[in-house]
Amino acid sequence: MESGNIVLIGATTENPSFEIISPLLSRMKVLTLKALKKEDLVKIIRRALNQDRELREALLKVDDETIDELALLANGDARKALNLLEVCYKMVKKENTGEPVIDHDILREAYQQNIAVYDKKGEMHYDLISALHKSMRGSDPDAALYWLARMIEGGEDPLFILRRMVRFASEDIGNADPHALSLAMAATEAFRFIGPPEGYLALAQTCIYLSLCEKSNAVYIAYNLASSDARELPEYSVPLHIRNAPTKLMKELGYGHDYLYPHDYKDGLVEQEYFPPEITNKKYYFPKNRGYEKRLGEFLEKVRKIAKKT
């Protein structure tokens, strides 16, 4: 391709970022084809009715309202519109009740049979879960329910959705409402126990609850800060006073020596260093002033004062 000996022209319904290797993609020019408008699909459907030989000879009748509905169901995809028209025609042809007519009921029945399940490994898979996540983060339960239903009706694995909800409970709610994580895990168990379709209500309930929880990303930020230090500063040893000392030799070496047992002190708090001496006074967790985390923040402030880390 670089020398110009090969010219590659391709078309795909998938996102090239997922389906084409990076070295090849970097040498290509990608053109994005947008979804067709409803008016465009109506023209394509009418052209098929007028120009397709079999449909024309069969005197297939489709009123304007049904054509509009078919165009809407195709969701911008001409191929889907023509496939759905073909399924409808085969259904009325099979009934053999005289002049073939496609009406609302036939169209809906055909759509249920021919509904295109979105590609669970492609772009829509990630777009829809992203839409659900961001709707819950934005505290919009109605939008979140819509995206949840879109995925379920499209054939998505409910456990994939539940795994995202569990992640969301820690990442976007955290200690602002610790119950959120318990509910997400309970919904997972409930769905496994009940199964579809009744089990979908557990997902819907959790979706609404997570959407309306007070939000905090303090846990997410805290772990990222800590993990960054753990990667960059992995060489520091555990201080002797907080090491485990199960044997006599370890005790003689100073393991556990001078450890202060917090339960022996007022409020269970005592001034004591838990970091390696090389990186004392580190702070990762900064609680938000909302929900249950507000209470944790007040206690943490007290702890840090006693520990002389403020």
Domain's final residue, options 114, 140, 168: 114
Q: Please tell me which residue, 244 or 116, carries the higher pLDDT value.
A: 244
* pLDDT of res. 250: 87
User: Is residue 88 located within the same domain as residue 152?
Assistant: no
**50 plus 89 within the same structural domain:** yes
Start-to-end CA distance of the chain, whole Å, equals: 61
Cβ contacts of residue 295 below 8 Å, gap of 6+? none
Asked whether residue 108 carries a pLDDT value surpassing 70, the answer given is yes
Domain final residue, candidates 114, 134, 149:
114
The answer to whether residue 123 scores a pLDDT higher than 50 is yes
More confident residue, 138 or 27: 138
pTM above 0.75, yes or no: no
Q: Give me the amino acid identity at 66.
A: T
Q: Which of 1-5, 198-202, 235-239 has the lowest mean pLDDT?
A: 1-5
227, part of any domain: no
- Is 8 part of a structural domain of the chain? no
Q: Check whether residue 197 and residue 254 sit in a common domain.
A: no
291 occurs within a structural domain = yes
Question: Residue 96 pLDDT more than 70?
Answer: no
> Over the Cα atoms of the chain, what is R_g?
30
One domain for residues 136 and 65: no
Residue whose tokens read 């084809």? 33
Residue 113 confidence class, pLDDT cut points 50, 70, 90: low
Q: Are residues 252 and 276 in the same domain?
A: yes
Identify whether residues 109 and 159 lie together within a single domain.
Answer: no
pLDDT tens readout for residues 293-305: 999 999 999 898 8
160 part of a folded domain: yes
Residue 141: which domain range? 123-212
Within a domain: residue 98? yes
Under 8 Å between Cβ of 42 and 71: yes
Task: Kindly state the average pLDDT of the residues 98-111.
Answer: 84
Count of residues making up the chain: 310
Tens-place pLDDT, residues 29-78: 888 888 899 999 999 999 999 999 888 888 889 999 999 999 988 888 89
Among the residue ranges 25-29, 145-149, 157-161, the one predicted with the least confidence is 25-29
Residue 242 lies in a domain: yes
> What is the structure's pLDDT at 267?
87
Segment 189-226, tens digit of pLDDT: 999 999 988 999 999 999 999 999 999 999 999 999 99
pLDDT of residue 194: 92
Q: In this predicted structure, what is the pLDDT of residue 179?
A: 97
Q: Do 128 and 196 sit in the same domain of this protein?
A: yes
Domain for residue 9, yes or no?
no
On whether both 245 and 287 belong to a single domain, the answer is yes
Domain count, the chain: 3
Q: pLDDT at residue 309 above 70? A: no
CA neighbor of 85 nearest in space, from 64, 114, 57, 51: 114
Same domain, 204 and 128: yes
Question: In angstroms, what CA-CA distances link 100 with 51, 106, 150?
Answer: 17, 11, 32
In a domain, 77, yes or no: yes
Mean pLDDT, all residues of the chain: 88
Per-residue confidence (pLDDT) for residue 229, from 0 to 100: 92
Residues 206 and 132 in one domain: yes
Same domain? For 203 and 132 the reply is yes
CATH of the domain at 288: 1.10.3710.10
Domain with residue 67: its CATH number is 1.10.8.60
**Both tokens assigned to 141:** 């339960």
Looking at the fold, whether 110 and 130 belong to one and the same domain comes out as: no
Assign residue 158 the CATH number of its domain: 1.20.272.10
Higher pLDDT, 310 or 171: 171
Q: What was the pLDDT predicted at 77? A: 86
Give the residue from 114, 142, 174 where a domain finishes: 114
- Contacts of 148-157 with C-beta under 8 Å, sequence gap 24+, read 148/203, 148/204, 148/207, 152/200, 152/203, 153/115, 154/115, 154/117, 154/118, 154/124, 154/128, 155/117, 155/118, 155/120, 156/118, 156/120, 156/125, 156/128, 157/120
